[in-house]
Chains A and B, each alone.
Chain A
Amino acid sequence: MSETPVDPDDVRHVADLARIDLDEDEVDRFTVQFADILSYFDALDDVPEVDTEADLVNVMREDEVRDGLSQEEALQNAPETEDGYFKGPSVS
């Protein structure tokens, strides 16, 4: 038995957090699949804690101005632009 029961409302909630609309068929299918997959993940419960020592250092460079994409290039893939800006839907 899974320690992690999943119901359709859990799937709808997480889809809302992730900003992905789902139709009812997808909700039903994902509910079953997520229960399967999450109960498989339960095996992580018995993993021991392990001390890790990172052998890495930050990579730094001088903050110098250099060429980047032009405004035109940056906008070339946008479905909608206006006056040299990306155009998105209203925020609220």
Chain B
Amino acid sequence: MSIDAFITETTIDGADDGPLAGHTVAVKDNISTEGVRTTCGSAMLDGYVPPYDATVVERLKAAGATIVGKTNMDEFGMGTTTETSAFGPTKNPVDESRVPGGSSGGSAAAVAAGEADFALGSDTGGSIRCPAAFCGVVGIKPTYGLVSRYGLVAYANSLEQIGPLAPTVEGAADVLEVIAGPDERDATTREAGADATYADAADGDVEGLTIGVPTELIEGADERVVETFEDTLADLEAQGADTHEVSLPSIERAVQAYYVIAMSEASSNLARFDGVRYGPATEAEGNWNETFAAVREEGFGDEVKRRVLLGTYALSAGYHDKYYAKAQDARAWLKQDFDEALAEADVLASPTMPVLPFELGESLDDPLQMYLADANTVPVNLANLPAISVPAGEADGLPVGLQLIGPAFGEREIIRAASAVEA
């Protein structure tokens, strides 16, 4: 397979009937599939075979979907290009010299290349929306609490959600309808979404819709991206939407807050990989701590080590108040700014990514530069809000995504607005 979208190809049949009968779905490799290995793109879980299905996988099967494989991803979801995978990079089907984005790069590439009708990804700081934008497909990051994460291998629990990728807004909404709703196995899920429908909201009707455009998310973006974004906004205005500028000063601290919180949570979550319950067998000699440290040196890649170490640092004595506590303040400040902006607008719009897809290998040596590329997506996770990335056209032959952000559990609003972008 030339683009390397999958780590494992398989066929898991679903029920005979259901809303997804006759459709194929690719599933990100950090979502547990009973009897089918689930690696998280890490050597640490190279041979890990879950003894149970994630709730979203049970729901896909019950809806009649056929699961065709487990998709490549940045190791444990930590990356913006899918190049930190221990299984090698995935290529962008639009331009094979470019990355597909990340961390759900395999899921987006599989959909863009037609290797699956739909896909599931997970989005901790943009990991569904970034690859959707880079590969020219639709991706939805649901409101925190809409979709069960039971069976998702945790990276940063307070931020992440599972969501769909699809060629069209309506297709993504169809999949969201199947996976959304409360689950007694994930106590963070809410009643909202129990009987909600989403696909019927993709009616393209934006007459009278108010769209706020956060100026902070336009400044600093690549000119070619901004031009494509503004053309799309003008098109929405022509369809009857009203746009106005808004300012969210807290957004200027979102990337810092996101990385401090995500790294801190990762340092705790990834402590479970001790080589005893799962993980590679080791020849290392010594006591528990020595063996543990040796297995983790071997099993984790650079980016995972970097985040676990920086998270450990941010939580350590003497630094907790400076980093972690301040990041939580920034998160609360950001929620307040979003509440105010969404009181004056139905949805907010921005470019999904401030840049065009990177060349393969371009961003690996400078982690901070890679983190800065997440500027437009991480605020949404910090504020627990829903957002969708929808193709807005091309610049220099490369896809540009438009991001629409809605109020909590306002998936129908962003789906409606996104369907007008497609029109």
Contact = CB atoms under 8 A, between A and B. Distances in A.
Contacts of A34: 309-310, 313
Interface in B174-196: 184, 187
B313 A89 contact: no
A1 interface: no
Please classify how large the interface on chain A is, using the bins under 10, 10 to 19, 20 to 34, 35 or more.
Answer: 35 or more
Contacts of B250: 47
Task: Decide if the interface of chain A is mainly helix, strand, loop or mixed.
Answer: loop
A77 B48 contact: yes
B329 A41 contact: no
A61 B327 CA distance: 32
Given A14-B316, A69-B51, A41 B287 contact: no
Contacts of A47: 250, 253, 257, 326, 329-330, 333
Contacts of B291: 88-89
B51 A76 contact: yes
B277 A78 contact: yes
A21 B260 contact: no
A79 B287 contact: no
Task: Decide if the interface of chain B is mainly helix, strand, loop or mixed.
Answer: helix
B59 interface: no
A73 B281 contact: no
Contact of A73 (B51, B256, B300): B51
B306 interface: yes
B256 A44 contact: yes
A14 B309 contact: yes
A49 interface: yes
B21 to A, nearest CB: 29
B320 interface: no
Contacts, number: 140
Contacts of B275: 79
Nearest to A79: B281
A81 to B, nearest CB: 10
Nearest to B275: A79
B308 interface: yes
B259 A19 contact: no
Interface string B290-307: 111110110010100110
Interface in B246-302: 250, 252-253, 256-257, 259-260, 267, 271, 274-282, 286-294, 296-297, 300, 302
Interface string A13-48: 011111111110010001001101110110111011
- Which 10 interchain pairs have the tightest Cβ spacing? A21-B297, A79-B281, A73-B51, A50-B332, A77-B278, A44-B326, A89-B291, A59-B187, A18-B312, A88-B276
B308 A41 contact: no
A17 B252 CA distance: 31
A51 B336 CA distance: 10
Interface string A46-60: 011111100000010
30 contacts: A18-B309, A19-B292, A20-B300, A20-B305, A21-B294, A26-B305, A30-B306, A30-B309, A33-B368, A37-B259, A38-B313, A40-B368, A41-B256, A41-B259, A44-B256, A44-B257, A44-B323, A44-B330, A47-B333, A51-B332, A52-B332, A59-B187, A73-B51, A76-B49, A77-B49, A77-B277, A78-B276, A79-B276, A79-B278, A89-B292
From A36, A41, A59, A86, residue with most partner B Cβ within 10 Å = A41
